[in-house]
Amino acid sequence: MPFEDYQKKRNFDSTSEPKAESVSTGESNLGEAIPIKSKDMLEFVVHKHFASHLHFDLRLELDGVLKSWAVPKGPSINPKDKKLAVMVEDHPLEYKDFEGIIPEGNYGAGKVYIWDYGTYHALDTDDMQQSSRILREGLEKGHMTFILSGEKLRGEFALIRLKKASPKDWLLIKKNDEFAAEIDISVLEAPGEAAVL
């Protein structure tokens, strides 16, 4: 989903969400990978968002932005669950640290908490450049498989696009591994939730 949409939907005089001014794609004009920062792992965050409807937002760092999906019922670690994940506009990388209140009258008004965060990589490699390439291909073909190393979400997950006709609709599915369990993890609170924002 276009990154430009992020800026268009928001009034930065009113919301404290980060502006989308600096996008580093990690590639030069010639398509060569260039080092843009001294980190070696991709990051992810899951926001718990008390908007008009409570939902969770899964955001995966890729190519200098956060690829984002709204997960209405929240992520699951039960492999039997298939959770609808609706792709939304790319968010700036800085958004991974955002927690706060989006004021009334603004897009997505309501409280936003960091429910989970950590690093992630493609299934077969934890190399950042290789992961990025594999994940980019997965995104294109509508089937991404990755390993999350978060506080709540760990192990292998898949995001699978339902059909080309409705490219926004994906399913988030936990793969069966040592981190899978038949429990409802979405009832867990975000660390900051008890505190008043």
Q: List the x/- string, 39-68, binding to Mn ion by CB under 5 A.
A: ----------x-------x-----------
In angstroms, what is the minimal distance from the CB of 44 to Mn ion? 15
Q: Does 17 bind Mn ion (CB under 5 A)?
A: no
Which residues in the 160-179 window bind Mn ion by CB under 5 A?
Answer: none
Q: Considering beta carbons, is residue 107 or 155 the nearer one to Mn ion? A: 107
Q: Does 121 bind Mn ion (CB under 5 A)?
A: no
Q: Which residues, 6+ apart, have CB-to-CB distance to 58 below 8 Å?
A: 44, 46, 68, 69, 71, 75, 85, 172
Lookup: tokens for 158: 């898949």
Please tell me the distance from the alpha carbon of residue 93 to that of residue 86, in angstroms, as a whole number.
19
* Cα-based distances in Å from 54 to 23, 49, 72, 175: 29, 6, 7, 25
In angstroms, what is the minimal distance from the CB of 76 to Mn ion? 18
Q: Where are the alpha helices (DSSP H) in 1-160?
A: 4-8, 128-141
Please tell me the distance from the alpha carbon of residue 90 to that of residue 117, in angstroms, as a whole number.
17
Q: Considering beta carbons, is residue 86 or 180 the nearer one to Mn ion? A: 86
Q: Does 90 bind Mn ion (CB under 5 A)?
A: no
Enclosing H/E stretch for 108: none
In angstroms, what is the minimal distance from the CB of 110 to Mn ion? 8
Q: Does 81 bind Mn ion (CB under 5 A)?
A: no
In angstroms, what is the minimal distance from the CB of 88 to Mn ion? 7
User: Is there a contact between 1 and 82 (Cβ–Cβ < 8 Å)?
Assistant: no
Number of residues that bind Mn ion (CB under 5 A): 2
In angstroms, what is the minimal distance from the CB of 29 to Mn ion? 33
In the complex, the residues that contact Mn ion under the rule CB under 5 A are 49, 57
